[in-house]
Amino acid sequence: MSHTAQHSSRSPLPRGLPDALLHDMRSLQEEALRSRDEMVSARQQALAAQARIRELEQQLETMRELVRADQLTGSLNRRGMEEAFARESARAARRGAPLCLALLDLDDFKRLNDNYGHAAGDAALAHLVRVARGTLRPMDVICRFGGEEFAILLPDTPLEHGLRAIDRLRQELARCALAHGADMLTLRFSGGVAQCGAGEALVAALERADAALYRAKRAGKDQVAIAA
């Protein structure tokens, strides 16, 4: 460092002081400058560490979302549904609000796969989710529960309104044909709707909705039944 640079970074010392005292004072000034530089460096490192932590937290949240999502349709998977049910049932209990759970199963899905191939089957599943998102409310939760079966949570929804919402979805899906090559495929589903009781476990609500779903299947398909 040049003589000019040294004087620009520290205060001039009084003249006439003993050499030893001058040396000590210069040492103190230099130590203070080093401490300041170290503090600036430490602060920069802390800010960089905080930015890295935020980045890792965002990556972790993205991974959590992927774990909860069905990769084919973009809806929740079974694990995501379990978390959503726990959250919504607790919220319903706090507010004394109704909560409905619906199960849907695409009718004649095996025949669709056999006639048009598995790519058409996959497209049909994704199409159902797109139509559901466009028909249901943003607050409603859609989950691919397995194969061609879907579960839908309807918060703040009594049983009669839940039945109407799922039947409206059934009609909209039949109206919105799926283009597959030169063919237009009409998709239909059977459904069962249950209103969740206070403190009712997910497995119990699913069993009731499933019983209603298969009652709709036995009655001729392409319809929605209410759970007991």
Are 144 and 77 a contacting pair, CB within 8 Å? Answer: yes
Q: How far apart are CA 208 and CA 162, in angstroms?
A: 14
Q: How far apart are CA 149 and CA 36, in angstroms?
A: 64
Tokens 């206070």 -> residue: 198
Segment (H or E) for 60: helix 19-68
Measured over the CA atoms of residue 117, residue 219, residue 156 and residue 200, the dihedral's sign is: negative
3-state secondary structure of 166: helix
Active-site residue, from 38, 65, 88, 148: 148
Q: Is 30 labeled as catalytic in the residue annotation?
A: no
Task: Give the residues across from 195 on adjacent strands.
Answer: 100
Q: What angle do CA 131, 209, 71 make, to 5 degrees?
A: 45
Q: Annotated active-site positions, please? A: 148
